[in-house]
Amino acid sequence: MRSQGQVRFIKISSTMQKIAAAVIVAALLAWAISMAVMAWSQYRAQADRSSLLEREAKIATAEERVAEYSDDISKVMDDLSNRQDFLEAINSALPDDVRTDETVTDSSTEADETVSKVSALIPEAAALAELEARQLKFVERLTRFADRRAARAETAIRKLGLDPKAMVTNANMEAMGGPLEQLATGANGQIDPRFERLGLSMARMAALERGLNGIPQVAPAAKENISSGFGYRRDPFNGGGAMHSGLDFRGPHGAPIYAAADGKVSFSGWKSGYGKTVEITHGNGMMTRYAHMSRFAAAEGQYVDAGEVIGAIGNTGRSTGPHLHFEVRINDRAVNPRPFLERAPNVLKEARTDDTARQSAE
């Protein structure tokens, strides 16, 4: 190092050089592994669904299932008992509109044939065969129900200009875990593909419907009181052109502010220029921001529902009078909130009304 005519030397020992090199290599390996895991997760999300479609065509025939009953009836009994526990757990978690006997009224020809043959060849196992047939009817009917709801949610998401595939991919990347409790339903110890397909269909439906619930759909304040729109405008303080990244809702000091969608409060405090601010993350990279508040009614880390009061209109921060500054951000990029607030309620109502009508028809 040369400074003011003086030359100084910094010596790095070979040991330190090796440690620095090792740290760099470890960081590169960690990055490569993380990228590989992300790529594999996205591949599995697509591959699992297609492979199950192929495996469903290869499920055990009636003759093969009769042979399993004959070989080890106690093993079949244990498998069916485990499956029953699984179905009861799902049933308790489902909304009331599908927790009815109607979900098990649809039958498959193969299951009925199995019951007939088992009853004739192994009379003592007839009740178990009937239980299995009833379970499979439930699983197949529920899978169709989940696929139909997922398709309806996907259509609604597309109408709002968002990508449903990204929502499913993001859901697959979420942290999850727990003990392994597999459902072995055959003599070979493999999970019946119809149960795997049900799990994938339910997960896809849940991811898309969570995505719908996280789309701004409730006006945070009275829409008729919007005083400034999204886009370029004259700055109220210096008169120059400036970007306005949200909507302003004028209102009396202390008027309630509502969460625009379901989510988790990720920030509640003072933010430069915004004053007292609440930010809510809704998943899939979507976040809403509520600024210039007079008080908070939601704490950081709290989960809130759409329409829940999270604070009150104020005049804090860079503000000329009591109002709410409301932003919608996707991957930290500000987007116009107005299309969501104007279109989402009708789109979601249409999807939910369609669901209710179909349930009544069935």
In the chain, the domains with their CATH numbers are: 59-174+189-213 (no CATH), 223-343 (2.70.70.10)
Place of tokens 């489902």: 94
Mean pLDDT comparison of 106-120, 222-236, 309-323, 337-351, highest-scoring range: 309-323
Place of tokens 């697959």: 172
CB-count burial class (<10 Å; 0-12, 13-18, 19+) for 263: buried
| Beta-ladder partners of 226 | 249
d(CA 188, CA 176): 28
d(CA 311, CA 289): 12
**Backbone angles phi and psi of 147, in degrees to 5:** -65, -40
Sign of CA dihedral 262, 264, 266, 267: positive
d(CA 135, CA 79): 12
**Per-residue pLDDT band at 344 (split at 50, 70, 90):** confident
Please name which of 189, 108, 120, 179 lies closest in space to residue 144, comparing C-alpha atoms. Answer: 108
Is it the case that residue 285 has pLDDT exceeding 50? yes
Are 282 and 262 within 8 A, CB to CB? yes
Count of beta carbons in the 10 Å neighbourhood of residue 347: 19
Buried b (16+ CB within 10 A) or exposed e, 110-122: ebebbbebbeeee
CA 353 from chain center: how many Å?
Answer: 21
Averaged confidence pLDDT in the chain? 74
Is it the case that residue 264 has pLDDT exceeding 70? yes
d(CA 282, CA 212): 10
**Backbone angles phi and psi of 206, in degrees to 5:** -65, -40
- The predicted-structure confidence for 53-70, as pLDDT tens digits, reads as follows 555 555 556 666 666 655
Query: CA torsion 138→139→144→145, rounded to 10°?
Result: 60
Are 322 and 204 within 8 A, CB to CB? no
Q: Which two tokens stand for residue 41?
A: 């997760």
Is it the case that residue 342 has pLDDT exceeding 80? yes
Is it the case that residue 310 has pLDDT exceeding 60? yes
Place of tokens 């004959």: 70
Mean pLDDT comparison of 133-147, 154-168, 332-346, highest-scoring range: 332-346
- Number of helices (H), then strands (E), in the chain: 8, 14
| Beta-ladder partners of 303 | 264
Q: What percent of the chain has pLDDT over 90?
A: 23
